[in-house]
């Protein structure tokens, strides 16, 4: 994975599907933090990008996967100020605040997968079930 490529790809894709400049910047920042974590803490990995189309709501799902050591304490890792790498400790928690949807799947010794989703006009509303 190449950090510059991730930033460029996310910027271009977000612009193509209608994200405004502020939303693009948030998503690029989150993607940059997650890609950096994948490279530094996960020893490298991959990113998958999928455009989502739910009627009038369009979005971008990014999935970052590595086969590194995993995260022993996810809640601690999401806490502002916590760092395992000497940085500012804003990576995971900051990324979570910048997107509409955030999930993390990790286990010690088993790698980590972080998935984020941003929507152009906020998350789509769930459909009401027919009665």
Identify the pLDDT of residue 127.
58
Question: What is the spatial distance between Cα 46 and Cα 38, in angstroms, rounded to a whole number?
Answer: 8
Q: If we measure between CA atoms, which residue out of 131, 87, 123, 120 comes closest to residue 102? A: 123
The answer, yes or no, to whether residue 6 has pLDDT greater than 90, is yes
pLDDT for residue 85: 61
* Average pLDDT of the residues in 15-38: 93
In the predicted structure, residue 59 carries a pLDDT above the cut 70: yes
Is residue 83's pLDDT more than 80?
Answer: no
Whole-number percent of the chain with pLDDT over 70? 84
pTM as predicted = 0.86
Tokens of 65: 């996967």
Q: In the β-sheet with 112-119, what is the strand arrangement from edge to edge?
A: 46-54, 57-66, 112-119, 101-106
Q: What is the pLDDT of residues 40-50, one digit of tens each?
A: 888 889 999 99
Query: Mean pLDDT over residues 12-35, rounded?
Result: 94
């Amino acid at each position: 994975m190449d950090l510059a490529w991730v930033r460029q790809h996310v910027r271009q894709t977000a612009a193509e599907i209608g994200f405004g400049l502020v939303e693009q910047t948030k998503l690029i920042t989150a993607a940059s933090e997650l890609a950096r974590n994948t490279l530094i803490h996960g020893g490298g990995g991959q990113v998958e990008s999928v455009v989502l189309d739910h009627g009038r709501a369009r979005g971008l799902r990014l999935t970052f996967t590595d086969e590194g050591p995993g995260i022993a304490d996810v809640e601690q890792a999401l806490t502002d100020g916590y760092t395992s790498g000497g940085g500012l400790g804003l990576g995971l928690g900051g990324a979570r605040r910048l997107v509409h949807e955030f999930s993390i799947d990790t286990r010690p010794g088993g790698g980590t997968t972080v998935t984020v989703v941003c929507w152009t006009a906020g998350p789509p509303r769930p459909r009401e079930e027919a009665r």
